[in-house]
Structure formats: C-alpha cells, structure tokens
Amino acid sequence: MPVFETIDELVAAGLTDGPLIGLDPGTKTIGVAASDPDRSIAMPVETIRRTKFTADAQRLLALAEERTAAGFIIGLPRNMDGSEGPRAQSARAFARNLAEAGELPVALWDERLTTVAAERVLLEADTSRQKRAQAIDKLAAAAILQGALDRLKVLRAC
C-alpha cells in the first residue's frame, strides 16, 4: 500500500468508512489518537514507548484492528518554511514501514506546531510537568488527527 502525501489523495484512492488512527512518531515514543466511527472528533488513546519497529507496528496494527480503523494519519514535522529536515525524513520512513507492515492506507499530515498547541493546552489546564510529559505525545497525535478530520469534512462538503 502506498503512503499518501495528502488526505485528498487518500480520499481519491477510495478511503473506506470507519475510524482513523492518528500517530505522532517521535524518537522515543509514538503518540496515538483515534477518531470516532463518524470521523468527527479525535481522542487521545495512548503513548507507546518505542522499542523495535516490528513490536511497535504490531501494537499499532492491533489498536487499528480493535477499533476497525480504516487507515492511519501520521504527522509530518515540516519546518516553518515548509522544508523537511531529518525528523520529517524519519516520519516518512516510519510511514513507509507501517504501510508495508499492514494492509491499511497511510497518509501524511503537516503537523507544524501541534506539539506546541498540545503543550499550551496542558499548561492552561495547570498540568504538572510529569503529567505533561506523559500526555503530550497522545495529545499531539489527537491534534494531528483532528486537523485531518477537519479537512475530510471540507472534502465531504464539496
């Protein structure tokens, strides 16, 4: 299965009904979020401590199966000027490997500032530093997924 560069490409390729799984892959953890079946809202699910890719992929595919997910949305950390650095290349490699490991489609989503937004929400909620560290990745994944869901709403309206 190819990795789609945009949500628009994923829809054009025939995205099936069902929830989507949003991912924020970092060097040490993977933030995971899931949408409801109607794809209205993204909810944080968990943060996976990274080990080997095979084990990480098995956990992600199991989560997708539990939720009867239709696909994955993976955050692509572009620089503010739109260019891509080492983190973006790592996210692309992660997306390719996940697409090869399973049968679900994978699409990339520009995630500029999602971690910053998630951190701001936690600070406004007066969350302790320790609890912020535990929650930030899955909240960033939810922000990534919500952006994609909002784009899907626009595409459906057209």
* Per-residue pLDDT tens over the stretch 59-71: 999 999 999 999 9
Place of tokens 């809202």: 41
Q: pLDDT value at position 1?
A: 77
Residue type, 26: G
pTM higher than 0.85, yes or no? yes
Q: Which helix (H) or strand (E) holds 97?
A: helix 86-101
Q: pLDDT value at position 133?
A: 58
In this structure, what are the phi and psi dihedrals at residue 29, rounded to the nearest 5 degrees? -140, 165
Q: Is the CATH number 3.30.420.140 carried by domain 3-157? A: yes
Range with the largest mean pLDDT of 19-23, 121-125, 135-139: 19-23
Q: pLDDT value at position 120?
A: 67
The model's confidence at residue 158, banded by pLDDT at 50, 70 and 90, is: confident
What mean pLDDT is reported for the chain? 88
Please say if the pLDDT value at position 142 is more than 60: yes
